Structure 1
Amino acid sequence: MKAIVLEKAGGPENLHLAEVAKPSIKDNEVLVAVKAISLNPADVKPKYQDKMLNMMYGEKRPVILGWDIAGTITEVGTDVTNFKIGDKVFGMVNFPGVGNAYAEFVAAPEAHLATMPDNVSFEEAAATTLAALTALQILEGRINKGDKVLIQAGSGGVGHFAIQIAKAMGAFVNTTASAKNTAFVTSIGADNAIDYHAQKFEDVLTDIDFVLDTLGGKVLENSVKVLKEGGTLFTTLDKDLPEDANAIVADKKLSINNILVHSSAEDMNTLKGMLENGSIKPNIYKTFAFEDMAPAHTEVEKGRTVGKIIVTI
């Protein structure tokens, strides 16, 4: 089969098309003929450092990056009960771990997939995986109707799903975005969009119940200032704060947490239902052909993506 492989650490130019063996499946797995792949910063950043690649993939080379897929099942393991050959499925495969998603065929545990809704394309399904799971796993069970939430970077992959999910949960949604993306974030459910070039969110927001942060650094530090007493913040990055911010956390009795998304068929089925009823809709910023994986990575690295980058096979 064809796959995009990485022989050594480096930039997008190190990604290249190769012929590799088709994976065999375990009893609890299915083999998916991949039609679409979603890219994430988690795919793109590790390739630059051997240390990071070794931590995530071991020292064996080449490696096949990626986790997010949508496609059609071609083989079914003997212990699989929820799927059959011909089913269209989507999911984030083996995260954290090795997903081997940049390939024509992917071996995926049954427990990481859901059947695709009839009303979405392979591209839309692939987009609704790691980023959507991250937003769901942070927000589910933590947001109440009427809560005032702040979604940082609302036009990004995680952010644009988080806006829609928080809105579906009945929250009042504040978000940060550039002026050119204000119309987009409000169109998907944001009640208040703050142009971070023109305003400091910490100067205009108060009494926020919940903050979802994907940026870290000063944005994380300033986010604690807008939370009400007893408020909650979740970040996808390091939650370490400087001394003055920690003083605010202690004084206001805030809960500061970080989270690492994990593969889950249960959560994928929740997203399936939200796609079916229109609660969420992925925004596909650009689509690339499989052989154009390198420029697709370059596009993600620009950090200006509105929604998701998709690669099709």
Structure 2
Amino acid sequence: MRAVRIHRFGGPEVLKIETVDEPIPAGHEVVIRVLAASVNPVDAKIREGKYPVVTEKELPHVLGRDVCGEIADLGDDVAGFLMGDQVFAFLSPKNGGYEEFVIAGSNEIAMKPKSLDPITAAAVPLAGITAWQGLFDHGDLRPGQRVLIHGGAGGVGHLAIQFAKARGAWVATTVSGTDKAFVEDLGADQAIDYKSERFEDQVEPVDLVFDLVGGDTQQRSFDLIKPGGALISTLTEPDAAGAAQRKIRVGRYTAQPSGAQLQEIADLIDEGKVKVVVDKTFDLGQVAEAQKALENTHVRGKLVLRVLG
């Protein structure tokens, strides 16, 4: 089978399409025939050697953390799934999705949303789980609360807006001016153009800031958070001392695979409460071009690789 591997860290030029053996599942694993895989910022971090879970001793390494496809093989201890089931998955770091067949733990997969094609479904798992865990597991967002999402037009952000609205929260988000109508259509109650408006002058205090931007944006958010509220980031660790002074909770997290949470997300999609936006698709052979696009262009929603037709 074909797989995109790196043998050293570096730029897009280190991505190599190679022929490798198809995987064989252990007891609680499945093999997914990959129809599509999404492209995420973490893929570039791994490629550059900036993701501590993947070190030189793990090379060569297959990139890609989420896929949609069909179950092609099952371990003896797998329950609840059958050969041929269409599933999607947020994979553990040891298994890369930029390949034609990939191993996944049965606890990492869920049935593909019936309302989505495989390309669109592949855009969901990593971004969806990241948004879900940030808002609900770490942010403890509850109905009736107010949340500010920084970076609402991106892969994680556009799903976070919709998850928060589905949970009954009031949602503000920072985006570029060209994306204001886009996020308002997703349900955002207030959209702030970060290039021309200072969000701290526009938004009333919130219970949660979900930070997908980091840097100065993160620090400027502290005074917007109600006492007892929280700032949760996917990027840099927030200032714990500043948080303690303001009586707020802060944290940085890395999303973890969860088939159960992915099934909840799939249900919301099939209920029409969440729509998934794919900005552009690429063939597997265009993987370097896809990663360059992610790093160097404005992406609304997600980028996805077509792997097997």
TM range, smaller chain: over 0.9
Computed over aligned residues only, the root mean square deviation of the Cα atoms, in angstroms, reads 1.5
**What residue is the counterpart of 1:123 in the other structure?**
119
8 Å CA contact 1:57–1:98 kept in 2: the answer is: no
Q: Secondary structure at the residue paired with 1:305?
A: coil
Give the aligned partner of residue 45 of structure 1. 45
Task: Return the alpha-carbon distance in structure 2 between the equivalents of residues 80 and 137 of structure 1.
Answer: 25
- Partner in structure 1 of residue 174 of structure 2: 176
Write the distance in 2 (CA, Å) between the matches of 1:57 and 1:279.
39
Q: How far is 1:19 from its partner?
A: 0.6
Give structure 2 stretches of 5+ with no counterpart.
none
1:138 counterpart residue number: 134
Corresponding residue SS for 1:184: helix
Letter in 2 for 1:204: Q
Q: 2:281 aligns with which of 287, 305, 309?
A: 287
1:90 is aligned to 88
Which residue does 2:262 correspond to in 1? Answer: 268
* 1:232–1:256 CA contact under 8 A, matched in 2: yes
Alignment partners' CA distance in 2, 1:227 and 1:98: 37
Question: Cα–Cα, structure 1 residues 298 and 91, in superposed 2: closer, same or farther, change >3 Å?
Answer: same
Query: Does the aligned pair in 2 maintain the 1:2–1:19 contact within 8 Å?
Result: yes
* Alpha-carbon shift at residue 61 of structure 1 (Å): 3.0
Change (3 A) 1:53 1:131: closer
Who is 2:155 aligned against? Answer: 157
- Do 1:9 and 1:53's aligned partners in 2 also have CA atoms closer than 8 Å? no
Gaps of at least 5 residues in structure 1 are none
Q: CA separation of 1:143/1:60 partners in 2, compared to 1, >3 Å: closer, same or farther? A: closer
Match of 1:59, SS state, is: helix
- Which residue is equivalent to 1:26? 26
SS in 2 for 1:72: strand
Output the CA distance in 1 between the equivalents of 2:55 and 2:208: 34
Distance 2:58 2:168 in 1: 47
Match of 2:255, SS state, is coil
Which residue matches 2:191? 193
Aligned length in residues: 305
Q: Is the 8 A contact 1:153 1:177 kept in 2?
A: yes
Instruction: Give the 3-state SS of the residue equivalent to 1:140 in structure 2.
Output: helix
> Is contact 1:65–1:102 with CA below 8 Å preserved after alignment?
yes
Q: Distance in 2 between matches of 1:58 and 1:106?
A: 21
The amino acid of 1:119's aligned partner reads: S
Task: Give yes or no for the alignment of 1:298 onto 2:296.
Answer: no
Change (3 A) 1:65 1:57: farther
Cα distance in 1 for partners of 2:95, 2:276 equals: 22
Give the Å deviation of 1:237: 1.6
Letter in 2 for 1:277: E
> What residue is the counterpart of 2:102 in the other structure?
106
Counterpart CA distance in 1 for 2:57 and 2:297 is 29
Could you list the per-position Cα deviations for residues 131-172 of structure 1 after superposition, in whole angstroms to 9, with x for gaps in the alignment? 110111122262222211100000011110100000111111
In structure 1, what is the Cα distance between the partners aligned to 2:241 and 2:79? 49
Q: Are 1:177 and 1:194, in contact at CA under 8 Å, matched by a contact in 2?
A: yes
Pick one of 233, 236, 247 that aligns with 1:235.
233
How far 1:206 sits from its partner (Å)? Answer: 2.8
Change in 2 beyond 3 A, CA 1:125/1:137: same
Change in CA separation of 1:296 and 1:3 when aligned onto 2, cut-off 3 Å: same
Q: Offset of 1:303 from its aligned partner?
A: 5.5
Alignment partner, residue 64 of structure 2: 66
Please say if 1:206 is aligned against 2:204: yes
Is the Cα contact below 8 Å between 1:206 and 1:227 reproduced in 2?
Answer: no
What is the TM-score normalised by the length of structure 2?
A: 0.95
Q: Hey, what's the Cα distance between the residues in 2 that align with 1:53 and 1:250?
A: 29
Q: Which runs of 4+ in 1 moved over 6 A?
A: none
Aligned to 2:302: 308
